A and B are shown apart, each in its own frame.
Chain A
Amino acid sequence: MTCTTSRHGKRFAIHYQLDFIYQKALKMASTFTVLYFASAHTYTGKSEDTVPGPMAISKLFPYLEEKYPGFRKKVLSSCALSVNLNYVDLIEDAEKEIQNGDEVGIIPPVSSG
């Protein structure tokens, strides 16, 4: 009796863990992460967002503007952008695609000191 319950419980735990990993993988497979630094963090009130991908770099700012009205003019217009810790240029790299699982950094210029 005790044997079966413990086996049952173990099975459940494994299922649970697998489910968690699948969920995470599923999320990774269809989204990328946007990290908000400095004033981007202040404006959104978040340190990151999960965004459905893939997405061309040129589409990211309009997407974020829709999510946070006024974001583009107040913050994004002067930001540097990185994809997987590589600086990307909004114009030259406009058509490059952000892949699912990528990590995008929104880096506003900090000028105080």
Chain B
Amino acid sequence: MEKFSLGSENLDLRIRIAELERELAEYRSGTVANSNGHATHAVNEDDEDEEEEDLAPQNQDDKAVRLDLDEFRRYGRQMIMSEVGLDGQLQLKRSKVLLIGAGGLGCPAAAYLAGAGIGTIGIVDHDLVEPSNLHRQIMHTVEKVGQPKVKSIISSLKRINPNPKYIAHNYALTPENSIDTLEKYDLVLDCTDSPQTRYMISDACILLGKPLVSASALRSDGQLVVLNNPPGEGPCYRCVFPRPPPPDSVLSCGEGGVLGPVVGAMGVLMSTEALKVLLSKADKKKRRKPAHLSPDIRPADAKDATKKEETPEPKKFYMTIYSAFSETPFRTIRMFGKRKTCQACSPVATITKESMKNGSLDYVAFCGGKGSGKYPPLRKDEIINVEEYNKLRENKEGGILIDVRDDIQFGMCALENSINVPITTILTLPIAPENDGTDGGERTPIPIPSWLPRDASIPIYFICRLGNDSRIAVQRLKKSGLVKGNVIKDIKGGLWEWSRKVDKSFPLY
């Protein structure tokens, strides 16, 4: 593409090389502070600490980050873009990005992020490289089969760019370790391959106030969405997909297949979105920090202040869907913001750092995995049959009737005066620690959901279609410790029994 005017370009290059060599000599002789011209000047604008000469980004919190001449050359092609510039490049170098998953999405995303000069790149993966990975996981090569993926990807990334600091997290992300793992980073990329990890990573990002770039691919389809961006404003994964897919419909790439370039394209798009998120911080760095998650904690005047500074136009959120074989492969869906009733990011959220760390959030069960296969045995006094409950209702002693079916089924048919709290919501309730006082020091009070009665004399009854999920709900609510003293019962046989024995006009389905 640069064939023509080779002569003049050659000359330009020679001149530039001479310049750079002169600068390099000055740099070596220790006069770097003045020799970089504009560069140093710009760096000084936001650097208080002049002595930060060390380029190893071990002290990233220190804002004194600068570029050496090698880096000017390496990143020049992107730095001359108005969207990047020197400030942008320095911002990238200051940034710490975590990629969760070193597979089909993680490989291309990491390659471009490493190439772009991100200061610190962390990678989480516990898998080993397999031959079936190689068609799409382009950072792994034949000789690395059998090696841990994190080791393999980091060695490849170093060959692209040795400058970033690479951190290997050679373990599986779990609810217990996710908070500690994510905490140290500025931005997270979800390159994983299961619904439960997607909900878990999204929840952790909400709790920590980190933006999240999330993408996925299967067969010839891909999805891309930037979540919790800016933190506290954008929707989370639960807002976009409040109901997890039924477990028997979830296919892995191994089961459903995937086209290499489809997942590759999604990974590349992720790196673009990641750069956009990071570069936007460079623009805004003199502004206030993003509003924290819980708006009610902020003083009222602080709220007003942010309003004044920000543009009045509300931020728009988008999801990109890619269908490779469609006539119009890319479509962008405009999202609404946060869901008012979101379990993770709304004011009525019940998910806390505590409940993540102590492992009481069962993501496998939430996604309908094996965890929820067994229905808990209940005591006799925890069960009521439909006829008895009908009598109570007739005497206006029906208490609170909670229907735990999903909202679609609830919308189809429901008992009068029942309220809908889907089982997926109940499964996100925190579990009260069994032995109090072990580490009670920093425990934050668990918010009580609005649908629970504050009055201990009001009985709570759970119902569902067939009487299975309602049993789980009884047990789960008791475990949460959120209600004390209330009668909590399961209506045996659910709406099916209700229709057969109490009200024949109630639809069976």
Contact = CB atoms under 8 A, between A and B. Distances in A.
Interface in A67-113: 72-75, 77-78, 80, 82, 85-87, 89-91, 94, 105, 107-113
A88 B191 CA distance: 26
Given A37-B221, A38-B221, A61 B245 contact: no
A111 B321 contact: no
Interface stretch (B33-41, B176-184, B236-244): B236-244
B331 A105 contact: yes
A90 B407 contact: yes
A47 interface: yes
B406 A77 contact: yes
Nearest to A110: B216
A41 B249 CA distance: 13
A107 B333 contact: yes
Contacts of A78: 241, 243-246, 249
Main secondary structure of the interface of A (DSSP, over half): mixed
A55 to B, nearest CB: 15
Contacts, number: 117
Interface in B239-292: 240-241, 243-246, 248-253, 256, 258, 263, 266
Given A77-B243, A86-B333, A113 B249 contact: no
Nearest to A109: B241
B222 interface: yes
Given A109-B245, A110-B218, A111-B245, A89 B251 contact: no
Given A77-B406, A112-B216, A87 B103 contact: no
A58 interface: yes
A87 B336 CA distance: 7
A113 B192 contact: yes
Given A85-B332, A112-B193, 4 more contacts: A37-B323, A77-B246, A87-B334, A113-B104
Interface of A: 37-39, 41-42, 47, 58, 61-62, 72-75, 77-78, 80, 82, 85-87, 89-91, 94, 105, 107-113
Interface of B: 101, 103-106, 191-195, 198, 215-219, 221-223, 240-241, 243-246, 248-253, 256, 258, 263, 266, 319, 321, 323, 326, 331-336, 339, 406-408, 411-412
